[in-house]
C-alpha cells in the first residue's frame, strides 16, 4: 500500500520512477522521468529520496537543513543542479540533474586510467566547481571520486552536499566529517 501511494503521489507530480542509481547512509537515489508542469517533453532526472523516519535526529536537525538550503542556491555548470525539492509524508524528494555516466570512481574502474588530457579537463572542472562553491561561502567537506558525477558528455558535476556547510573566510570548522577511507592519517590518529 505504501508503494502504491508513493507511486501515485510521484505520478501526480509528473514523475515516473525507473532504476535504482545508488544508496547512501540516509537516502536512496533512483532515475526517473519528469514531465514538468507546463512542458510537453519528459526530462530524465535523479530522484534522491530521504526517509525522515529512518535518519538520526542530529542529521535531521543539523545536516539535512544545511543540505537543502545549500542545494536551493547552487547554479553552476560543474555542480549538480536541483530542479525541485518537495516533501510528502515522512519523505523528502530532491529532483536532481541526471549524470548519465555515473560517478568518477565507477567510470575509472570500468574504463581504466584516464588519458592525461581527459584527467586535466576533469580536474579543471572540479576546480571551477569548487571555486564557485567557495566564492559563495559553501564548503563541501566530502569531496571524493564517488561525489564527482559525470554527465553524458563527461562534464564534471560535484554532488552530495550532505556534509556541506556555509562558512566565512575566518570561520573554522571543528567537525571531523567525510569518509574515513579518504582521511589523512593525522586526522585518524587524532580521532582514535
Task: State the catalytic residues.
Answer: 142
The position carrying cell 530522484 is 47
CA–CA distance, 82 with 98 (Å, rounded to integer): 10
24 Cβ contact partners less than 8 Å away, ≥ 6 residues apart: 160, 162
Extended beta strands in 74-128, E state: 82-88, 91-97
Q: Where are the alpha helices (DSSP H) in the chain?
A: 2-12, 57-58, 64-73, 104-111, 116-135, 185-191
CA–CA distance, 128 with 123 (Å, rounded to integer): 9
At 48, which helix (H) or strand (E)?
A: strand 43-51
Amino acid at each position: 500500500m505504501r508503494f502504491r501511494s508513493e507511486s501515485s503521489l510521484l505520478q501526480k507530480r509528473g514523475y515516473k520512477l525507473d532504476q535504482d542509481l545508488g544508496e547512501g547512509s540516509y537516502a536512496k537515489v533512483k532515475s526517473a522521468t519528469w514531465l514538468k508542469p507546463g512542458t510537453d517533453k519528459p526530462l530524465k532526472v535523479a530522484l534522491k529520496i530521504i526517509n525522515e523516519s529512518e535518519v538520526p535526529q542530529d542529521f535531521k536537525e543539523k545536516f539535512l537543513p544545511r543540505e537543502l538550503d545549500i542545494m536551493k542556491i547552487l547554479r553552476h555548470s560543474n555542480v549538480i543542479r536541483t530542479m525541485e525539492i518537495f516533501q510528502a509524508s515522512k519523505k523528502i524528494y530532491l529532483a536532481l540533474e541526471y549524470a548519465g555516466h555515473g560517478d568518477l570512481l565507477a567510470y575509472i574502474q570500468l574504463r581504466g586510467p584516464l588519458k592525461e588530457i581527459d584527467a586535466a579537463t576533469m580536474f579543471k572542472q572540479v576546480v571551477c566547481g569548487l571555486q564557485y562553491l567557495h566564492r559563495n561561502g559553501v564548503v563541501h567537506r566530502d569531496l571524493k571520486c564517488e561525489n564527482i558525477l559525470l554527465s553524458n558528455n563527461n562534464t564534471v558535476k560535484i554532488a552530495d552536499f550532505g556534509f556541506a556547510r556555509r562558512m566565512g573566510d575566518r570561520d573554522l570548522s571543528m567537525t571531523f566529517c567525510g569518509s574515513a577511507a579518504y582521511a589523512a592519517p593525522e586526522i585518524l590518529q587524532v580521532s582514535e
